[in-house]
Structure 1
Amino acid sequence: MSTIESNLKNQPIVLISVLSQPVTTPPPSVLISTASSLTPNTSSPAIFHDDKPIEKYYKKNKQILFEFDQIVKDIRFQLNEQLKCLEQRIETQLSILSEVQEYFRRRSDVEFDYAKNLDNLHKQIGQRHRAQKARRETWIFQSIYKLWDTIVQDTRTHVKYHTIMSDICGKYMYDKFNEIAEDTRRMFMKCKSVGLASHEDIYKVLNELKSTMKTYHQYQSESKQAEQKLSNILQQIAKIKSAKKQKTMEKRVEKRQMKYTETKVKAFKARNDYLMTIESVNAALQKYCSDDVPDLIDCMNFGFHTSIAKCIQMYLSAQENIKRGRQITIETLNRAIADLDTIVDKQKYLEYYSSIFTIPKRIKFEPHKGDEVSTVNAQVLIRDEMQSRFIQMQNRLASLKTENDEIFKTIEATEQSLMENITTKNSDVSDLFKDLNLPQNNSKNARKEIEDYYVEKFKQYTLSSNLISRLQARHDIMQKALGATPPAGAAEDNNLISRPIKPKQIGRAPILGRPRLFGGKLLDYIQVTQQYIPLIISSCVSAINRIGLHNQGIFRVPGAQVDINQFKDAFEKGEDPLVNITGREMNSVAGVLKLYFRELKEPLFARDMFDSFISCISKLNSIINLNYSTKLT
């Protein structure tokens, strides 16, 4: 039995009876007086009764406590399930990685047996995959699964192999995959400790909420008892006609009224603390599910896809040196590597397990019987204290945000160092065809040191962000209660479109290889090629301006699909097929330009700017209508 439950059971019988009685009549009005004499006055309104009494069913303390414990139990269960799911996710990744590793090991064994044995290997892997299809249903949510599938499907085309390829697959790559698996498991255990620390932080604020809830209901009960006692003594005075006896009762009335005032102030403070703690807990849960879980997944997977990509790129280098006819295979694998995207993997995984990773329902305020105020109020008796707390919280928030930004900058610098440590491992094995010396890796200890520092800073950043989120929730609700104005810098210029602040991202990976022109990201392509206006846009627009503006149905009449595909392939290779274009092919030129914009992974007009564009257009229409109305008048 918990301490709160035992305390509630030890409450006086009077308190239990008061809690169980429904509100049918308003309590007597009391006027607090500071004078030495007190005259009964039942017609004046009480300063504490800021809400009209209504008939309503109120939950008992035990019921409220039971429901809260059930909520905490559900949250605790969900948090534990999240860690289990994340562990399952890592095991899935390692299972896929193990399959890729097994593939290369077995390929080394069958390299000398040539095409027949290699075809048998392809069939065996396909059969095992089909046999374990039920166990691998979540593989499709990993971008490395597409890479593995591409490698397996490409096995039929592997008909010429050398001893060097056997050495690469059987020695270096096998050891490299073992290293990746070891690094991934080690990183998961460290990040799991961060997740457990975040869970402990959430459990701490939930316990704080439980304590404030108990205090709130206790003080509300005491306030009701004091109010009842004051009402009884006032009724007694009203019945006494003797002035001498009334004077004798005045001290008792004054004492009861002081007690009533004291308990009411405590009740106000307890209610405000209860409401602020609820907001703090909800903010903590929101922050954890919205930001911490994705960041935790990013931290667990940091360098995982990059390491695999580098290992596979080494395999591609060997393929290029064996035969140029493998170019089609190389391009296919390059596309699979380019599709390695930890953000997409994370989003698919969270969507698949949406019931587990969803944000818990917001905890609602459970009012005490007779208390209908569900917001934080700055009562006269506690306004100065709240103002002081608000200023202190503002200063602390500013300090914490500055410190948090510095921690994130340190994380970004550490990520860069860790990524440099990963990318410095040479994936080009051309030298193996000359001296057959495998590259040595002596940076393992250095990576572990950087890794430990990175995870520690990530832990500091996560816990600091959680604290800021909770304090910000308290700050906002206190600011609303006090009627304080936001800082001057928060005002927005209505004449400008405010770009949303880009969220901080943990574990941002570099761009691998040359990004695709069609079906890729425009910013990634510009960053790698340094073409601030891609060739396809400048060439197509120039051709249309020169000879296509008078073509009937330009951008409406479809072009020849064969010509569009030829233009697409040429632009993808970096060539300009529109140098000697004729007017008859203008519809195909417009078609390939439309196809390019249509296949962009992210639209030209960013989704995060959609609301700003709509708001700008609405304001512009309002200004035009206003000007038009002014001219009419």
Structure 2
Amino acid sequence: VMKTYHMYHAESISAESKLKEAEKQEEKQFNKSGDLSMNLLRHEDRPQRRSSVKKIEKMKEKASEVPGRQAKYSENKLKCTKARNDYLLNLAATNAAISKYYIHDVSDLIDCCDLGFHASLARTFRTYLSAEYNLETSRHEGLDVIENAVDNLDSRSDKHTVMDMCNQVFCPPLKFEFQPHMGDEVCQVSAQQPVQTELLMRYHQLQSRLATLKIENEEVRKTLDATMQTLQDMLTVEDFDVSDAFQHSRSTESVKSAASETYMSKLNIAKRRANQQETEMFYFTKFKEYVNGSNLITKLQAKHDLLKQTLGE
């Protein structure tokens, strides 16, 4: 539309220029024709030259161009006016459309494309938050259950529970019975002569041996109890607080100090672990010694009691 307007306007300017030029030429020719007429009137008696006649005819032809130029100019001016009007109307429509686009349509387009996005986003995050909150609640409930179980830990009760659940394994078996050979009817220790003296001497030896073993085993038991207490103190040290590992925004100096403390803590842990292992090995050794000693005492005590019953002492 703008190009059409520019084209018709250029044609209108050109037609106007040609019209003005034709009018100027007409005015000049009119003046010249007046002069020629005067000259012709003065020289009527002279025969007219052919060139003069041609000039007059030519001036008449040029004078006749003015109406054509005027019509052409009017036509081009009308076309230019219509083209300008169309251009201005379309320009107003275009500006209105652009203004509407940026003032109304852009916002409406965003609303159209954004329809439900924020609601869906909110639902998504609320679902996530609900899951996290429920997970946190579940974790706290689980931690409470674990803490309650830790508070109720009882080694003796657990030991009895396990033994009761597996009573076939931990229940004492039947005693070994005497198996007589080839119809032998004697099933008791015989203290008749000549074995009575030997049994009596054996009885006193067992009595003396038992007294010595009981004293020795009692000392082992005392050492075992002391070692067990030391080991329990090592195992029950309250070093389970790890809150320092979750501290944030610490300064550089505190970080350096924490690193140094961590290094020293690792050294202390290694040293404590070595001491604990050494104490455990000593405890196991003493426990083995105590169990073997008590087993020996039990067997010798059974022989001693049976001999005492047999000898009547």
TM (norm. structure 2) is 0.48
- Which has a greater percent of helix? 2
Q: Which has the higher contact order (CA 8 A, sep 6+)?
A: 2
**Larger-gyration structure (1/2):** 2
